[in-house]
Amino acid sequence: MNFFMKLSCIRFFSVFFSLLLCLTSFAQSIVRADPPNWWSGMQQNKIEILFQAKYIAKCRAFINSEHCKILGTTPLPNSDYLLVEIEISPDCPPGKLEFTFASSRNDYEYSFPIESRSTKTTKGLGANDLVYLVFPDRFSNGDPSNDNNPSLLEPKADRGGLKSRHGGDIQGITNHIGHFQELGVTALWLNPVLENNQPYESYHGYAATDLYKVDPRLGTNASYKQLVAECHKKGIKVIWDVVYNHWGNEHHLFKNLPDSNWVHWFPKFTRTSYRAETLMDPYASKADRDIMTNAWFDKHMPDLNQQDPHLARYLIQNSLWWVEYAGIDAFRIDTYAYPDQIFMKQLDEAMRLEYPDFFLFGETWVQGSPVQAWFTEEAEVKKNFNSSLHSVTDFQLYYAITKGLKENFGWEEGFRRIELTLAHDILYKEPNNLVTFLDNHDLSRFYSMMGEDMASFKMGIALLYTLRGIPSIYYGTEILMKNYSDPDAKVREDFPGGWPGDTSNKFTSSGRTRQEQEAFDFCSILGTWRKANPWLGKSKLMQFVPEENTYVYFRYDDMHTVMCVYNGNDKAHTLKLDRFSERIGNVKVGRDVISRRELELSKELVVDPRQVLVIELPQ
């Protein structure tokens, strides 16, 4: 072979190997980093970044920065992942941290953004708020262009399918902020909006597949952030619905697990017992506690092991990230009883350290006030740790109202069921923080539960809006949407008028029936009254033992008094007012918030059949 032929061969193989090297480098580029960025000036200035790339666990990590340093690296059992802990100095300017990863096999570079903080405070949540719960896929379709997405496992919207995607989205919710204002709503709670790239029933949002991405069929991270901003402009707070117990089985990290220890495993599929009382029961077996906490919620929902310190940190950092990114005011924590409770305490404390005004409440679908109270901070029940959780969903009052309004008056039935439940408030540090409700996305619609009886409906709404706690109303309750939760999808129907071409539009008074408008007006009157009277949230409650199927209680402080009266009888009832002189005092005339009529309060008060009165007393 002559010189020129040798030179040509050398050039050919040089180009070939250079090309191969480039292709190899491209194929092994950094796939992603979680979190995707951080902020300077955070209390949480030490973070653990999960880098994903082929064989990155074999690499050494370097950073070129005067304001940040690497504290350590942790290669995970799956060589595609490397955890890098960094410390960001308080004076770190906005910009990008330049990471270099090197090994004998691979070299990577990655630019990690550090941004200026936009959310230094949050608005929190309190008993002077009125929460409106929206099921995003079923409320309003404001952007039909995102209904279908061929890149997802459930690619098409189908309003005819009970459990399919219907096309409701974040833009649709943004378009109807005025509806919330009409009702006196001060806080908006959306069921989860994160990506749920599951092959079926992806509409409900509770099987996340990416913790850093809004589901594209609902919108984008930016559109969610814009919704929060628009709500804040209108004086409405925003609540994030978060799940720590499980992911969807199509979650990108579950399909390529960084560490098998991140998930609880059993020899065969094992479902949780759903028996939360085993966590506080002094006689419970360890086996029962393990099944409750470690078994899977459903076959497509792998149960996360929050005792793994790296997974725990991943989840907490993700929560901090969303609050800082979007300006969220509070968390509703799904299936609060099922994750590791020590982890939940760490999560609660981390959120409150970074955002002192932030509010967290957990879903505790349990039986019995002691079980429910056990999950709240400084509860008056025996436990070996303080949960640091502000509040829980008050299922006990839900049971009392929905049962009490339907049953005959008795020793512990009817209104007395409600009174007895409220007497259990001695168990809570702050019962005013309990989130109260009449129905939600998992429960039969309240109007249906009341047998479609308007008088019972009004009593329930009045109880919800005037008793202690933070009231939450489910979308459509105000227009008498109905159905039973068998299956759950039946109580997650589309809000009429939320889709182009709907035959009726219940967002407008002209689209509502007479009865629907009556219900809407009742909710609006009490909701706007609550909003105009923020003192109610910090007021005291005094109740009188129900007698003759009537129930009377007062909300009051040093400057205000409201008397709430319920007549459960089918005929008029005359109340002897001297029984309530402890609170009425010398007041002779009050004003009913609902009818706006003045009522004489000298000796007796005649209450119409099945009537509720909310009477403001002058000081």
Which residues are known catalytic residues?
Answer: 334, 363
Collapsing DSSP to helix, strand or coil, 320 comes out as helix
CA count, 13 A, side-chain hemisphere, 56? 31
Collapsing DSSP to helix, strand or coil, 291 comes out as helix
Q: Which amino acid is located at 216 in the chain?
A: P
Q: β-strands 359-362, 330-334: how paired? A: parallel
322 to 4, 36, 241, 340: CA distances (angstroms): 63, 11, 11, 22
Q: β-strands 550-556, 561-567: how paired? A: antiparallel
Using CB atoms within 10 Å of the CB of residue 501, give its burial: 0 to 12 exposed, 13 to 18 middle, 19+ buried: exposed
* Nearest Cα residue to 365 out of 440, 268, 313: 440
Residue 348 Cα to chain centre, angstroms: 14
Collapsing DSSP to helix, strand or coil, 192 comes out as coil
Q: Using an 8 Å Cβ cutoff, are 613 and 565 in contact?
A: yes
Q: Is 585 left (phi over 0), alpha (psi -120 to 50) or beta?
A: left
Using CB atoms within 10 Å of the CB of residue 368, give its burial: 0 to 12 exposed, 13 to 18 middle, 19+ buried: middle
Q: What is the DSSP letter of 571?
A: S
* Nearest Cα residue to 177 out of 217, 227, 218: 227
Bridge partners of residue 559, in order along the sequence:
none
Q: Which residues contact 234 (CB under 8 A, 6 or more apart)?
A: 177, 180, 181
